[in-house]
Structure 1
Amino acid sequence: MDYKAAGAPKMGKKAPKHQEHNAHGSRKKPFGTREDKVALLARMKKAAEEKKG
């Protein structure tokens, strides 16, 4: 008897178990709205200056 063929079929391993609430391409965060790296660096520098004092 082939015991490995018995039971429920295995689910895919590569699929995520859940969806993120703010994933790119979702309703809350559609594609094309990622900010560019220059804007990100500017925001990080501003936050660092505010943290210094």
Structure 2
Amino acid sequence: MGAIFLDLSRQKSIELVEGCAIRDHIHMLLMIPPKFSVSNTIGSLKGKSAIQIF
């Protein structure tokens, strides 16, 4: 899962500073450029990672 999030974050110019995956949830510390909103960025990461994981 880490590789999926690293790949997606690189595509969006987002820096994945730290992450921790637990059985039922994921914690991530991201550096998001000011031109992106937090909600759209997280929605995009969740949606595209869910498709790849499925």
Same fold (TM over 0.5): no
Q: Which has the higher strand share?
A: 2
Q: Which has the higher helix share?
A: 2
- Which bin holds the TM-score, normalised by the shorter protein? 0.3 to 0.5
- Name the larger-Rg structure: 1
Greater RCO between the two (CA within 8 Å, min separation 6)? 2
